[in-house]
Amino acid sequence: MKYSDRVSKLGNSITLAISAKAKAMKGRGLDVISLSAGQPDFPTPEHIKAAGIAAIEGNITGYTASSGTPALRVAAAEWMTRETGVEYSPDRILISTGAKYSLALTILTTVNPGEEVIFAAPYWVSYPEMVNLAEGVPVIVKTDFANGFKLTPAMLENNITDKTRVVLLNSPSNPTGSVYTKEETIALAKVLEKYPDIWIVSDEIYSRLIYGDTEHFSIAAVSPAIAARTIVVNGVSKTFAMTGWRIGWMAGPKEFIARAGKMQSHTTSCPSSISQHAAEKALTLPDDFLIEMEGAYLRRRDMFIELLKDIPEIEPFKPDGAFYLFCDIGSIIGKTTPEGKRINSSVDFADYLLEQALVAAVPGGAFGIEGYIRFSFAASDEAIERGVSRIAEAVRKLS
């Protein structure tokens, strides 16, 4: 049988391969410590769970309006207005099955075959594949540790061509936790002002997970002209510990939302009615519990960085947001394991950690950059402590 070129071109997910292997090892009874999670380790708060249960018991179980329930669109518009400082009305919001589907829809709504989408590496694993699905061309701009893993205005402008259709930004970033400052964001917008036909897609799913004095600044807030061509993506997954509920959204110009909504109506009908009901409560009821969660992530980040000081071969980038530690492992590449195997790549090192230290982490290769590894601090203090001590032992055994 033949398959479409579209699906044949899709890459295999390194992340899924690692987590499948870790699961299989756990299944065999091995005590694998997972520092690879891309989701909060907190349960969904009780009052949000209760809203989901109430939706089922109240028979809120049928199809909803395709673009989302009116109540959730209102709640998301108000939340996004608070979050970004840009005035969003409900008709500028499209609720989808997770922020991931919102992102896929933004690309499918804007990109024709052969058109280019610019984004920075390290990138979130699905960006290139979303562009491939739309038969577009990913234009990947490498950033590095020294410049905080950020695109500069010059790097952006040097990659713009007459085929550029979208610039995709992600702040706070997965995998680095790097956050663009207001000034840096304005500088990127200044470049884009010269190219009025380019859409800006801003993935801000970690906007509420930022630490210390860092402030989240959405590029949509730069000016009304920029907001008119920016689609901001956010959702409840990370902020409210609701990854499995699958609710995200995009906020953008009305005409854009209507077109993306048409595509959604023919592909998923609508997001889950039950999850939408719970998400509406998440956005409208008091959210003091977020302070506690943010405090826990901050404490774990600092603890993790402190513990890693004992392993000079692993140098973490200090993240201002999200819950990942992206670490330089350049000096480990080329070393040999006790079994005589050479570590040629980040994938080899992640494999070694999993097999020797029983610690699951994600290799930089998954994010389009070699010589790095990503640990998640969405894990208990105990998991972090035991995990780092096992990693230290495994690194010591390399020669």
Ligand X SMILES: Cc1ncc(COP(=O)(O)O)c(C=O)c1O
Which residues of this protein are in contact with ligand X, per CB under 6 A?
38, 98-100, 124, 170, 174, 203, 205, 235, 237, 243, 248
| Cβ closest to ligand X, residue 100 vs residue 150 | 100
Buried b (16+ CB within 10 A) or exposed e, 255-279: ebbebbbeebeeeeebbbbbbbbbb
| 175 closest CA partner among 364, 20, 303 | 364
Q: How far is the CB of 135 from ligand X (least distance, A)?
A: 21
Task: Please give the Cα distance from 125 to 145 (Å, whole number).
Answer: 18
| Cβ closest to ligand X, residue 38 vs residue 136 | 38
| Cβ closest to ligand X, residue 278 vs residue 311 | 278
Residue 352 phi/psi, 5° resolution? -60, -45
Q: How far is the CB of 57 from ligand X (least distance, A)?
A: 26
CB 398 within 8 A of CB 335: yes
Q: How far is the CB of 323 from ligand X (least distance, A)?
A: 10
Task: Please give the Cα distance from 289 to 278 (Å, whole number).
Answer: 16
Q: Which residue is nearest to ligand X (CB)?
A: 98
Find all residues with CB under 8 Å of 124, minimum gap 6, and list them: 170, 173, 174, 175, 203, 367
Give how far Cα 134 sits from Cα of 116, 127, 129, 271, 293, Å.
Answer: 10, 11, 9, 22, 37
CB 152 within 8 A of CB 169: no
Task: Please give the Cα distance from 249 to 236 (Å, whole number).
Answer: 9
| Cβ closest to ligand X, residue 99 vs residue 257 | 99
Q: How far is the CB of 41 from ligand X (least distance, A)?
A: 14
| Cβ closest to ligand X, residue 138 vs residue 235 | 235
| Cβ closest to ligand X, residue 282 vs residue 332 | 282
Q: How far is the CB of 205 from ligand X (least distance, A)?
A: 4
Q: How far is the CB of 98 from ligand X (least distance, A)?
A: 3
Q: Pairing mode, if any, of strands 248-251 and 230-235?
A: antiparallel
